[in-house]
Amino acid sequence: MALGPAGPLVVAVGGGLISAFFYLSVMFGGMGALILGYLAPLPLFLTGLWLGAPAATMAGLAGAAAVLLGTSGSMLVALSYLVTGAAPAILVVRQSLLARSREDGTLEWYPPGRVLMGLTGMGVAALLAAVILTLGQPGGLEGLMRQTLARVVEPAFRMQGQQAPDPEAFWVAAVLPGLVAVSWLVMMIVNAVLAQGALMRFGRNRRPAMRLAELELPNWLAPLFAVSVAAASVVPGTLGFLAVNLALILAVPFAFAGLSVVHVFASSRSARTLILVGFYMMLFLFGWPILLLVGLGMIEQWIGLRRRFSPAAPGQEDE
């Protein structure tokens, strides 16, 4: 079905309004609202990967305006929507739809590894900005995290007639910024994959699937990750806090590289579906296989496990 002259604009604005509704649904509470909030970038990705980056930009602006109206003019909430949802979606759409012609006339699309690194870079930039902006706070960003957690749990302890724990007892504050950034990264990736899959299902996609087997990370990432892990282990204070959270964020690309190894390994076995289902069940039930994925991603970076498992067909793996 072809869109009329005003069709792209209508779709873009509609996508932005749906995204804003999902984003604001978390204000109502409940598990369903949280799920809708998690899917807030999905309409932006659907719009952009179908109609292009200008449509994604229009959808993001429409969504920000709707959030602003829905929160009675709260610029902070609207800015949060732009920074955490609209801007990353626009970036991913723009980079994903870049292509150049090869000598044989076929298109070479922007590599999925670089798209992933662009998102990772945004997470690192947000962490650095937060650390810099809180340098004047007692204890810096880590101190602010501890105080915030103490204020959040204090009412619950007060209702039970107990004294709230000292802020220093909240060890999770030392890794909370990194965990938030990792959660955000996964949210954006999941929504982008869902959008591309839906568009391919209905024949509306502009670019082919971004296959896991095509995921390539830059060579400098492994040394940077290793330095971050080492610094997190030995460096105290603000630099150590920055290093441990930086390591958490940089682990995400390696986790997806490790996941590509699992998929390529499974594709060369007759029980492909059983292997993948079993692995994903372990991943969601126990969590610790994430460490395995990061390790596999590091090994893949060094010796190329995927080539060993599937030397003749590195591009057959699905998303």
Is 270 exposed, middle or buried (CB count within 10 Å of its CB: 0-12, 13-18, 19+)? exposed
Q: Which two tokens stand for residue 35?
A: 């799920």
Q: What is the pLDDT of residue 317?
A: 44
Rounded to whole angstroms, the Cα distance separating 119 from 121 reads 5
Rounded to whole angstroms, the Cα distance separating 182 from 244 reads 13
Q: What is the pLDDT of residue 318?
A: 45
Is 156 exposed, middle or buried (CB count within 10 Å of its CB: 0-12, 13-18, 19+)? exposed
Tell me what percent of the residues of the chain surpass a pLDDT of 70. Answer: 91
Rounded to whole angstroms, the Cα distance separating 200 from 43 reads 15
**Closest to 240 measured CA to CA, from 178, 182, 169:** 178
Write the pLDDT tens digit of every residue in 192-211. Answer: 999 999 999 999 999 998 88
Q: What backbone phi and psi angles, to 5 degrees, belong to 267?
A: -65, -20
Write the pLDDT tens digit of every residue in 213-266. Answer: 889 999 999 999 999 999 998 988 889 999 999 999 999 999 999 999 998 888
Q: What is the pLDDT of residue 315?
A: 44
Q: Give bridge partners of residue 107 from the DSSP assignment.
A: 101
Rounded to whole angstroms, the Cα distance separating 188 from 17 reads 18
**Closest to 119 measured CA to CA, from 143, 80, 91:** 91
Q: Read off the pTM.
A: 0.87
Q: What is the pLDDT of residue 319?
A: 43
Residue 168 has pLDDT above 70, yes or no: no
Greater pLDDT, 32 or 87: 87
Residue 4 has pLDDT above 70, yes or no: no
